[in-house]
């Protein structure tokens, strides 16, 4: 933990509460995806969707607009603080969920989901910014892993909760539940989270200043490769999420047990994040994530080869789960490595990183999902390509040298100073 220079008064939240609140804020955004996966078929039927692949747009449009919206919250938070942005985002989250519950056509649903993604993008950007305000280096990577581990509770239980709601009420009540949970997190944030932006780090709201800060993020070699690398890996993950209901529930015949399968895989991913939080400070975020990237590439190649000759659900589950675990090591560590150089402009850096990661990832995910052909082959091929592309970007950031634990001298950009 840093010395909390971002706030001269003692920080009122203990470590556990801080981790859970940051995870809850991020989880609201994930909840808008996972809880409705079992309901996609019923939603598309009620709203007269003809093409079964179009149901994926309920997820895909939300993800794309989340990425587009994430370009703005960080710059605003660098000027006015983290709390106002988070409070506005959680209120908008509640209102947009209620709008989704009241739609009467599929185009209206997509429009409501687009607005929801735009308004709630800050829920993805701000937790990363707040964590950067308070931590740095491998300690920041460890904290991000703990947040991710807690956050993974949502994918574990959300599909089962969604299916449970559908057993006693219609799919519209899923959005009602989302609104209630959003209101609870909004109240918690308002009552307990103090401002974490250092007064000396406030930035002016001027297009040139914002553009300069964001451009600086993309020009910093230590960050750029990890940013684009994680975007490609996340795109493959979104491709799986977009088509998971069709692939697992329908192609592999999991049916009613789809939420349990999806949740079980998320449980293993959560365990991986806990392991990462324990080992990253010993071995370093670079060594851990680069090793995981090679594991991800090798497992994806093996899985694709096996899928060419057909596979069962019981072959698919362990291999996909292993790849998803490698994604856990890659995701949290790549993000921490990428944002490390930007102590003074953490908000702008988090925004442009979230924008690139989410827009690239969601567009790639939508394309992968729309390529679904009734088999896992398009998803697995995309995972192989994403892993190899991410490796090229990491080699760019590291100037061709991997598995190093870097100790930067004072004043170097990656030592936490402004580049």
- Identify the pLDDT of residue 418: 33
Question: By CB neighbour count within 10 A (0-12 exposed, 13-18 middle, 19+ buried), where does 2 fall?
Answer: middle
Percent of the chain whose predicted confidence (pLDDT) is above 70: 92
Indicate whether 63 pLDDT > 90.
Answer: no
- Angstrom distance (rounded) from CA 267 to CA 282: 24
- Angstrom distance (rounded) from CA 409 to CA 248: 49
CA 356 to chain CA centroid, Å, is 12
DSSP classification of residue 410 = T
Q: Where is mean pLDDT largest: 54-58, 168-172, 177-181, 309-313?
A: 177-181
Percent of the chain whose predicted confidence (pLDDT) is above 90: 29
- Of the candidates 71, 63, 73, 62, the residue with the CA atom closest to the CA atom of residue 111: 62
State the average pLDDT over residues 14-34.
Answer: 86
Q: Which of 108-122, 169-183, 256-270, 314-328 has the lowest mean pLDDT?
A: 256-270
Q: Which of 2-11, 54-63, 315-324, 330-339 has the lowest mean pLDDT?
A: 2-11
Q: Give Cα separations from 36 to 39, 157, 171 (angstroms).
A: 5, 12, 8
Indicate whether 411 pLDDT > 80.
Answer: no
As a whole number of Å, the CA-based R_g of the chain is: 20
Confidence tier at 417 by pLDDT (50, 70, 90): very low
- Identify the pLDDT of residue 155: 67
State the average pLDDT over residues 38-44.
Answer: 87
Q: 334 and 226 in contact (C-beta within 8 Å)? A: yes
- Identify the pLDDT of residue 52: 76
Indicate whether 136 pLDDT > 80.
Answer: no
What pTM was computed for the model?
0.69
Confidence tier at 7 by pLDDT (50, 70, 90): very low
Q: 320 and 265 in contact (C-beta within 8 Å)? A: yes
Tokens representing 27 are 């989880």
- Angstrom distance (rounded) from CA 262 to CA 379: 16
Q: Which of 48-52, 87-91, 405-409 has the lowest mean pLDDT?
A: 405-409
Indicate whether 133 pLDDT > 50.
Answer: yes
Per-residue model confidence as pLDDT tens digits over 318-332: 999 999 889 888 988
* Angle at alpha carbon of residue 274, lines to 271 and 278, rounded to 5°: 140
User: Under DSSP, is residue 335 helix (H, G, I), strand (E, B) or coil?
Assistant: helix
- Identify the pLDDT of residue 2: 42
- Identify the pLDDT of residue 177: 94
| Annotated domain spans of the chain | 15-415
Average pLDDT in the chain: 84
- Of the candidates 90, 251, 263, 106, the residue with the CA atom closest to the CA atom of residue 171: 106
Q: 350 and 203 in contact (C-beta within 8 Å)? A: no
- Crossing angle between the packed helical segments 82-101 and 15-34, to the nearest 10 degrees: 30
Report the first-to-last Cα separation within the chain, whole angstroms. 22
Indicate whether 383 pLDDT > 60.
Answer: yes
Q: 14 and 142 in contact (C-beta within 8 Å)? A: no
Q: 414 and 343 in contact (C-beta within 8 Å)? A: no
Per-residue model confidence as pLDDT tens digits over 273-316: 778 878 887 888 899 999 999 999 999 999 999 998 888 888 89
Other Cβ atoms within 10 Å of 94 Cβ, number = 21
Q: 223 and 217 in contact (C-beta within 8 Å)? A: yes
Per-residue model confidence as pLDDT tens digits over 65-119: 888 888 888 878 888 899 999 999 999 999 999 999 999 999 999 999 998 888 8
Q: 162 and 174 in contact (C-beta within 8 Å)? A: yes
Looking at domain 15-415, its CATH architecture is Up-down Bundle (1.20)
Per-residue model confidence as pLDDT tens digits over 221-238: 888 999 999 999 989 988
Q: 316 and 376 in contact (C-beta within 8 Å)? A: yes
Confidence tier at 9 by pLDDT (50, 70, 90): low
Confidence tier at 31 by pLDDT (50, 70, 90): confident
- Angstrom distance (rounded) from CA 410 to CA 36: 48
Contacts of 145 (CB under 8 A, 6+ apart): 273, 274, 276, 277, 280, 332, 333
- Identify the pLDDT of residue 419: 29
Question: By CB neighbour count within 10 A (0-12 exposed, 13-18 middle, 19+ buried), where does 282 fall?
Answer: exposed
């Amino acid at each position: 933990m840093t010395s909390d220079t971002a706030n001269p008064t003692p920080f009122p939240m203990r470590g556990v509460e801080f981790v859970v609140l940051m995870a809850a804020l991020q989880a609201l955004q994930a909840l808008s995806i996972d809880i409705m996966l079992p309901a996609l078929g019923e939603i598309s039927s009620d709203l007269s969707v003809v093409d079964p692949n179009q149901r994926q747009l309920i997820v895909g449009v939300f993800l794309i607009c989340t990425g587009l919206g994430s370009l703005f919250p960080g710059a605003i938070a660098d000027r006015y603080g983290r709390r106002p942005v988070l409070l506005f985002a959680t209120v908008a989250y509640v209102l947009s969920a209620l709008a989704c519950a009241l739609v009467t056509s599929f185009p209206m649903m997509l429009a409501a989901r687009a607005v929801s993604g735009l308004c709630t993008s800050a829920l993805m950007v701000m937790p990363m910014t707040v964590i950067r305000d308070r931590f740095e280096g491998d300690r920041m990577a460890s904290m991000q892993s703990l947040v991710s581990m807690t956050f993974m509770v949502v994918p574990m239980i959300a599909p089962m909760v969604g299916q449970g709601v559908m057993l006693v009420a219609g799919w519209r009540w899923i959005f009602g539940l989302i609104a209630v949970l959003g209101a609870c997190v909004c109240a918690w944030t308002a009552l307990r989270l103090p401002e974490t932006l250092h007064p000396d780090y406030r930035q002016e709201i001027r297009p040139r200043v914002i553009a300069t800060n964001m451009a600086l993020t993309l020009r910093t070699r230590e960050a750029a490769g990890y940013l684009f690398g994680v975007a490609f890996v996340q795109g493959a993950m979104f491709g799986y999420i977009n088509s998971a209901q069709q692939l697992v529930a329908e192609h592999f015949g999991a049916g009613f047990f789809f939420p349990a399968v999806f949740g079980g895989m998320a449980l293993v991913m959560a365990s991986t994040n806990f392991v990462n939080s324990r080992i990253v400070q010993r071995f370093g975020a670079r060594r851990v994530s680069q090793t995981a990237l090679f594991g991800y590439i090798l497992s994806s190649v093996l899985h694709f080869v096996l899928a060419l000759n057909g596979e069962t659900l019981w072959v698919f589950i362990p291999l996909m789960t292993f790849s998803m675990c490698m994604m856990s090591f890659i995701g949290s560590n790549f993000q921490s490595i990428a944002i490390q150089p930007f102590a003074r402009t953490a908000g702008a850096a988090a925004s442009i990183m979230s924008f690139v990661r989410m827009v690239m990832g969601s567009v790639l995910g939508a394309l992968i999902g729309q390529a679904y052909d009734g088999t896992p082959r398009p998803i697995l091929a995309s995972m192989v390509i994403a892993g190899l592309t991410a490796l090229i970007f990491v080699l760019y950031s590291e100037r061709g040298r991997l598995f190093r634990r870097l100790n930067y001298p004072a004043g170097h950009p990656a030592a936490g100073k402004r580049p």
